[in-house]
Amino acid sequence: MLHNYMKIDLLQYKSLETNGEFFGYACTFNNQDDVGDIILPGAFAETIRSQSHLVLLWQHDQKEPIGYITKFKEDLIGLYIKKFIMQLKRAAYALIAAGVIKGLSTDYLIEDYFHDGTIRYIKKIKLIEISVVTFPANRQAMIEDVKLNHKYLKLLSSIKRALNTLAINKEIINI
């Protein structure tokens, strides 16, 4: 199986007060995923026209909704999304903010496609949900920007101060 990978900056932190937003590509076009599919530009057009929001799941588990998609659009690269993480799932947001979990994945019904023998080219999709996942089938589908919540910035700042204090105390003891 032939794989084409394109480097995308996966995660950039911004020091802004927000409500758990992150941005990224839930799917990229013209890229063969690990299942052997290539999604073509325009595949999500009907979903974008007909749906105002989508559910955001954790690892495709329908029992684990962690938020919702507030904006989604197709551009030249793929399906670009803006997500809001609900406060109830702080553990998920912490893993995303730390860069531990970066993958995005879509669940959909295929409405139109063609085969060239080994690869399925998907022309039209009905999007069901988008998930934050550990290992996406489309390795280019990644979170690329996170806006950290003010509470997390305070926590990170406290941790840095504590580590600096420990380092200073260690130097004094070693002198």
Domain map of the chain by residue range?
13-149
pLDDT of residue 44 exceeding 70: yes
- Active-site residue, 60 included: yes
List 46, 60, 64, 74, catalytic entry:
60
- The pLDDT of residue 81 is 87
- Active-site residue, 50 included: no
**Considering the domain 13-149, what is its CATH architecture?**
Alpha-Beta Barrel (3.20)
- The pLDDT of residue 151 is 53
List 3, 52, 129, 144, catalytic entry:
129
- The pLDDT of residue 15 is 30
Please give the structure tokens belonging to residue 5: 């990978």
- Identify which has the larger pLDDT, 9 or 102: 102
- Active-site residue, 144 included: no
Question: Is residue 9 very low, low, confident or very high in pLDDT (cuts 50, 70, 90)?
Answer: very low
Mean pLDDT across the chain: 75
Give the strand pairing for 120-133 and 54-58.
parallel
* pTM of the predicted structure, to 2 decimals: 0.66
Instruction: For residues 129-151, give the mean pLDDT.
Output: 74
